[in-house]
Amino acid sequence: MSRIAFINARLVCPTAGVSHGTLMVEDGVIRASGAVEVPGDAVQVDCGGRLLAPALVDLGVFAIDRAAFRAGGIARVALMPDTTPVLDEPGIVQRSALIGKPDLWIHPISAATRGLAGKELAEMAICRSAGARAVGTGRGWIADSSVMRRVLLYARDLDCAVIAHAEDGGLARGAVATSGETATRLGLPAAPALAEALAVARDLMLAEETGARLHLRQVTTAAAFDLIRAAKQRGVRVTCGITPAHLHLSDIATSGFRTFAHLSPPLRDEADRQAALAAVRDGTIDVIASGHDPHGAESKRLPFTDSSAGMAGAETLLALSLGLVRDEVIGLDRLWSLLAANPARVLGVDAGTLESGMAADLVLADADAPWRIGTDTLVARAGNTPFDGMPVQGRVLRLWKGGREIG
C-alpha cells in the first residue's frame, strides 16, 4: 500500500471548509484529513502552510492543452463539442475521453445536434455510453425551439445536463461587441446585451417544462442573472457559469481594437460586470471556468471584426479567481465550490472535494505568490489573454492526479 501524508497544509474543501492539518492519501484515494496520525511508512509532503485543495475541474474548454492545464492546477476538463471533427459520434467521443489519461481526465461534452447545426438530434445515448458526461450546443444557440425541447427531453431521460450557449442567434449574428458607447466609438458590429436574456428566458422555460438539467455555460448580464435567480427559486434545475474575464473586465478593455479582448459572449458594460460579481456573491453563479480557447497570431493579429473570439484562460484561472477572495467577494471554500465541486457535480463525476473516499486529485498553491501575466510567458499553445501585463497573486506549485504527481 502506498501512503502519502500531506502535512502542515492549509486544507481547503468546499464541504468541510478551511482548516489546518494533514491530509492522508492511500493508494491514490483520500482517507482522512485534519489531526491525522501519520504512519511510519508514509511519504511526507510538507506543504509549508500553503493551500492544499481539490484540483480544478474546468468546465468547457475548446482545446486540450496539457501544459496550460498543469500550470493552472487543472486535473479534469470538460471538452466542448466544437472540435474537428465535431463530437457527435461515439468513436470520436471515446477517443477524446481516453487520450489524456492517466495525467489528465477529459470529460467530453457531446454535440446535441449533428454537426452542431441545430437541426437534427445527434446520437446522444450512444455518445453517452461512449464516455460523454453531458451534451452541449457548442459555441452557438439552437434557434429552433422544437429542436431544443427535444434535446432537453432526451438529455433528461439520459440523466445528463445540457450545456447551452446563451445568445439569441438572430440578434447576435455578425456582432463582435456589446451595443454601447465603446462599440459605437470603435465602429464595431454590435448586439444588444438583451440577446443573452432572450436566449436564457427561452431555455429556462423549456427546462422548466421538460424537467431537464440545464447548465448555461456563460452568463454575463444583469437581466439574465435575474431570470436565473427567479428560476432557481421556482425549482428549475438550472446552473450557470462565467469566466474571470467577465468578472474583471468590461467592454472598455476592447478599446484600441485589442483583439485579445474579443470574446464570446463579448465583454459587457460596467453595470453588467458589477451584476456578475453580485451573482457570484449571492450564489446565482455556480461555476467559474477558464473558457480556454487559445488562438495564435494568424487568428488574433487581424482587424477586430475578422479576428477569432476566445482567450487562453487555463493558466490564469486560479490566480484571477483568488482575487475574488482577496476582495472579500467570497471565501476560499466557496471559491473551490465554483472551481471544482460544482463543475464536477454538473458533469456527474466524483471529484472536487477533500472528502474521504475521493480520488486524490490535489493542487498545492501559494495564494500570495505575486507574478505578472504575460502573453509571451504563458505555456499555453498561444498566449492570447486580455489580462496581458496584469499583476496577480496565486501560483500553482504542484499537482496530483489520483495521488500521482503530474510533472
The set of cell numbers assigned to 26 is 492511500
Give mean pLDDT, residues 199-221.
98
pLDDT digits (tens, 9 = 90+) for 263-298: 999 999 999 999 999 999 999 999 999 999 999 999
Distance CA 393, CA 321 (A): 10
Q: Are 61 and 79 in contact (CB under 8 A)?
A: yes
Nearest Cα residue to 405 out of 375, 369, 366, 362: 362
Per-residue pLDDT, 244: 98
Instruction: Return the CATH number at 331.
Output: 3.20.20.140
Give mean pLDDT, residues 358-371.
98
- Whether residue 1 is contained in a domain is answered as no
Distance CA 72, CA 179 (A): 33
Share of the chain above pLDDT 90, in %: 99
- Whether residue 29 is contained in a domain is answered as no
Number of C-beta neighbours around residue 377 at 10 A = 11
Per-residue pLDDT, 387: 98
Per-residue pLDDT, 268: 98
- Whether residue 147 is contained in a domain is answered as yes
Pairing mode of beta strands 74-79, 105-111? parallel
pLDDT digits (tens, 9 = 90+) for 243-270: 999 999 999 999 999 999 999 999 999 9
Q: Provide the number of structural domains found in the chain.
A: 1
- Whether residue 134 is contained in a domain is answered as yes
Checking 121-126 for CB contacts under 8 A at 24+ apart, the result is 121/147, 121/150, 121/151, 121/154, 122/88, 123/88, 123/89, 123/90, 124/151, 124/154, 124/155, 124/158, 124/160, 125/154, 125/158, 126/90
Helix (H, G, I), strand (E, B) or coil at 347: helix
pLDDT digits (tens, 9 = 90+) for 13-64: 999 999 999 999 999 999 999 988 899 999 999 999 999 999 999 999 999 9
Residue 1, pLDDT above cutoff 80: no
- Whether residue 34 is contained in a domain is answered as no
- Whether residue 108 is contained in a domain is answered as yes
pLDDT grade, residue 325 (50/70/90)? very high
Count CA within 13 A, CB hemisphere, residue 80.
23
If phi > 0 it is left, if psi is from -120 to 50 it is alpha, else beta; for residue 174 that is: left
The set of cell numbers assigned to 404 is 500521482
- Containing domain of residue 275, as a range? 54-353+367-391
Question: What's the gap between Cα 354 and its chain centre?
Answer: 20
Q: What is the mean pLDDT of the chain?
A: 97
Degrees to nearest 5, angle at CA 27 with 25 and 28: 65
- Whether residue 7 is contained in a domain is answered as no
DSSP letter assigned to residue 114: G
Per-residue pLDDT, 407: 85
- Whether residue 46 is contained in a domain is answered as no
pLDDT digits (tens, 9 = 90+) for 372-388: 999 999 999 999 999 99
Beta strands in 65-176 (DSSP E): 74-79, 105-111, 134-136, 162-164
Nearest Cα residue to 353 out of 331, 333, 324: 333
Tracing cell 472535494 back to the chain, one arrives at 353
Residue 311, pLDDT above cutoff 90: yes
Residue 336, pLDDT above cutoff 90: yes
